[in-house]
Structure 1
């Protein structure tokens, strides 16, 4: 399945996530950051984690897998 990853919008309540988007532009799923340590709740930390995930999944034009 061909898909791309997009960073979600930051929320002070739920944090951030990565959205998985299909070839047709429809939402397929979400990768969320579930925190057990307050250091992971930091906006910059979550943004960097999500950016890393997006870059990895979008390498070579997205995943086909």
Structure 2
């Protein structure tokens, strides 16, 4: 599968499974994210992985 096929076949997710995301998958996604290009090649990336449901709800309230 090439990148254009991925872009053209990706769908929006309205409901997500409640299953926790395995640590190895989280690290794989973060590894890909930190390698993404940035403006001026500055890589100003900061990531925080939140697993606690109470914390997730508080963050969601801030943005809704």
Q: Same fold (TM over 0.5)?
A: no
Which protein has the bigger strand share?
1
- Larger-gyration structure (1/2): 2
* Greater relative contact order (Cα < 8 A, sep 6+): 1
Instruction: Indicate the structure with greater helix content.
Output: 2
